[in-house]
Structure 1
Amino acid sequence: MAPYPFVRARSFRGNPDRFSGSSTSNSSSPDNPLRQKPNSHLLGAFTKAWGKSGLAEAALDDVFIDDITFPATDGYLLGATLFLPRGAKSHAVLINSATATPRKVYRQFAGYLARRGCAVLTYDYRGIGDSRQKAMVGYNQTKSLAGFNATMSDWAGKDVTAAVAWMRERYKALPLNFVGHSFGGQALGLLSNNTEVSRALFIAAQAGYWKLMASPENYRVYAMLKFVGLPLTRLMGYAPGWTGLGVDLPKGVFEQWASWVMSERYLFTDPRLPGLSNFANYKGALRALCFSDDPWATRPAVGLLCSGLAAIEPEILTIKPADIGATRIGHFGFFRPEHRDTLWRGAAEWIQA
């Protein structure tokens, strides 16, 4: 999968809804940007696909933003960002990332929801972004993922579950809504506390069996996983991002993901996945968006994932780029700011209905 663009963070103090635990924000006023070293590998992709960062940052100036940490269910600290409106809060929204995708990708959409009155949390799964352990030597260097134990089951059962609990505890009086992009949507059914979610919006979330992907992408994914990704991951002890993933992945995450991709019913036939029984527990509303030019989350793949949520009748919408006056959307395009007045507005209105 291609590398994913991101926006450099701006973080504010003076937050009226200050997190009572650990915060990593290092700015003292709304005029001081959080200093972060940009990832040069992704910078070109961001400029090409997302436009100029100055315009994007200006759009967040009226939102309180804090970079924080919170513990997963096993105590592992996860890097996160909390977005808060300056006025009254009407909804709590948790944004759950795709595989190999840092939370920075969702920053502009999270800010958009916050300006509409939502308290929004984005976060990184263990081993990704700011939830990756730091090395003991060098300045702000990340530790190698070789030997780091994590699976997709851990992401769902320990990280996403904890994020839902954190938001539910903090915003008890607000409806809790769930935005799941790709794997982020898959995780909903695995959560022991998915009954806490009132509404779930899936963005290109699918049961990613390789034969349900569009051709020729399905053959590329199959070959990459079987003949490059798996052998290299077992050799190096982790899946290196330079193979096309964009970021490094823990070995257990990549191996479990690959096994699901090779299985006809994706994660639904994984005998080591006890969280599968939780799919039947979700009874909230669900809208699943798929895009006609997305080769991974095709309509059959989205439908297969939604079929696991047997207690509800999901609403599945297929959107063509031409429907919104765009030339492309794809698997990640929903989160580009150019869709603020089309895809974002429709999503926000449904989330806040």
Structure 2
Amino acid sequence: MNKVIVLYRRPAGKPVPGDFKTNIEEIPIADNGEVLLKTRYVSVDPYLRGRMNDTDSYVAPFELDKPLQSGIIAEVIDSKHTQFKIGDMVLGNLSWKEYQVSDGVGLRIIPPDPEYITAYLGVLGMTGLTAYTGLTRIGKPKTGETLVVSGAAGAVGSIVGQIGKILGCRVVGLAGSEEKVELLTSRFHFDVAINYKTEPDLSAALKTACPNGVDIYFDNVGGSISDAVLNQINKYARVPVCGAISLYNDAAPAMGPYIQPVLVKKSALMHGFLVSDFADQFNEATVQLTAWLKAGKLTYHETIVEGFDHIPNAFIGLFEGRNEGKMIVKI
């Protein structure tokens, strides 16, 4: 039989296990022009929370009683498609099902190298592309500039900081535990890491960590943390806004400082983006990320949760800070 995880109800605030339901179906059969896929690895990402709300956004909301979807690596176990053979490993935006059929549209065959296979859900996939394009195309880093990254120990943030170091920046990361702070400086080579949860005066800590101010702020979290960073930005600073995870579960929009005076006074650029905005640059980005990875200039960290039934809890864990780097569920 085939397990399928569906959206049972729309969350009120932070998602809870009861918002999801597991259904049992028969394993489907591939027809002509189709492949039968067995799910091997599932990516859970913060942006999925927005799709759980029934609101207009840049992508359609998930439907109730229908499977959720995310980036998935699957194995072809039966093929009646000319472009795929049994044993191929493929990457695509697929449903949270143990088994499913596909007509091949949107599937990409990836190398079966066990050392790098999960990297295609992270540093060599949407995560890495988000970090690379957001930083290089909006942040436009220059040697000697100061880059601050919030959510720095997360999947995107950890890669942004490393790219910043490669490109010659002083990099400061904000994270929510001492373990993550240690990870940022020891594994990802950030110059400074700050635990925003235990720091009594974040603004003062940022001034110490950024004696020359902030030239680029890569914003993954929004909220009061970003307010503190924006008060430190320099003239002509650039602020790529990748996400606002601290606000995703708010029932009503939180009120914060008005940012317009800061942006005007500093002639600063704040630019929200989706990775798809830079789709025409994915090939260039993938080539560069792969080269850095194989040269040992870029590394990545993964939090692996095992078991299909644990997909919802792994997703919920993103909002509780239970991930270091990319959160992946191994099936």
What's the TM-score bracket when you normalise by the shorter of the two chains? under 0.3
Pick the structure with greater CA Rg.
Answer: 2
Using structure 2 for the length normalisation, give the TM-score.
Answer: 0.26
Using structure 1 for the length normalisation, give the TM-score.
Answer: 0.24
Whose helix fraction is larger, Structure 1's or Structure 2's? 1
Whose strand fraction is larger, Structure 1's or Structure 2's? 2
